[in-house]
Amino acid sequence: MRAQRPARRSPAPEALSQDTKSRILDAAESLFTEHGFEATSLRSLTAAAGVNLAAVNYHFGTKEELFQAVLTRRLDPMNQERIDLLDRYRREAGGRPLTCEKILSAMLIPALRLARDEKRGGKEFLRVLGRAYADPAPFIRNFLSAQYAEMISRFKDAFLEALPHLTKQELTWRLHFVMGALSYTLAGTDALKLMAQVLPNDRDNDEKLLQRLAPFLAAGLKAPLGDAKKLELVAND
């Protein structure tokens, strides 16, 4: 008679003990990070996960829905953590407006916690996320917009109180820059090569990275309103 588990070529060692759905999600997270959505085939994905090719369509419907599932699994808890942390800071401040640094902390700390927690995907997932920010595919854009709407709205209100010298429009732009620096940083393993410098990529460095990013972003957010004279854009033609 056959064994209880069908004989199969050895799957990825980390995926051995999990059920099919989790194995697919883990392999997808890893491969989407490495190659991007379009360049990752379901055949290579299911082979890495040690499951049958048809399992993705059975459990998730389509490849696009699998990608969204990869994002939701980590994104929902992280953004909820951000909102909860912001609320807690608000309560602790007792009605007074929060400082810019405090609000930034509420954005960055849950991301750092996620980056540290290998059981929740760690840095690998943050890179998938950073990539997704820059993807023009409508199903990704719409999905992210919906996922982030609540969180962004709350943080915008908080920043408006903390930075009264900024107009709503100016703040929108600066939050745009903040998200840019953040997502680029999260996505960038080899973006560092652009700087022609190699920095080790261990756990301590992730913390140091965000400790470097926060002062940079806080200073940018608090900067006085732009003055066209400082950038002599036209005078140099």
Partner DNA sequence: GCACGATTCAAACGCCCGTTTGAAACCATC
Partner DNA sequence: GATGGTTTCAAACGGGCGTTTGAATCGTGC
Instruction: List residues binding DNA (CB under 7 A).
Output: 1-9, 19-20, 40-44, 51-59, 62-64
Q: Please check whether residue 171 is in contact with residue 163, taking contact to mean a CB–CB distance below 8 angstroms.
A: yes
For the bound state, the minimum distance from the C-beta of residue 65 to DNA, rounded and expressed in Å, comes to: 8
CA angle 21–84–106, rounded 5-degree value: 100
Rounded distance between C-alpha atoms, residue 90 and residue 79, angstroms? 17
Total number of residues binding a second copy (CB under 8 A)?
82
225-232 — which CB contacts under 8 Å span 24+ positions?
Answer: 225/165, 225/166, 225/170
The amino acid that residue 98 corresponds to is L
Q: Which is nearer to a second copy, 59 or 113 (CB)?
A: 113
Q: Which is nearer to a second copy, 16 or 231 (CB)?
A: 231
User: What mask, x for binding a second copy by CB under 8 A, covers residues 203 to 232?
Assistant: ----x-xxxxxxxxxxxxxxxxxxxx-xxx
Q: Which is nearer to a second copy, 36 or 61 (CB)?
A: 36
- Determine whether 162 is exposed, middle or buried from the number of CB atoms within 10 Å of its CB (0-12, 13-18, 19+): buried
From DNA, a second copy, none, interface partner of 184 (C-beta below 5 to 8 A by class): a second copy
From DNA, a second copy, none, interface partner of 203 (C-beta below 5 to 8 A by class): none
Q: Please check whether residue 108 is in contact with residue 210, taking contact to mean a CB–CB distance below 8 angstroms.
A: yes
DSSP, res 48: H
Interface with a second copy, residue 236, by CB under 8 A: yes
| Interacting residues with a second copy between 134 and 173 (CB under 8 A) | 134-137, 141, 144-145, 148-149, 152-153, 156, 169-170, 172-173
- Other Cβ atoms less than 10 A from the Cβ of 166: the count is 19
For the bound state, the minimum distance from the C-beta of residue 132 to a second copy, rounded and expressed in Å, comes to: 9
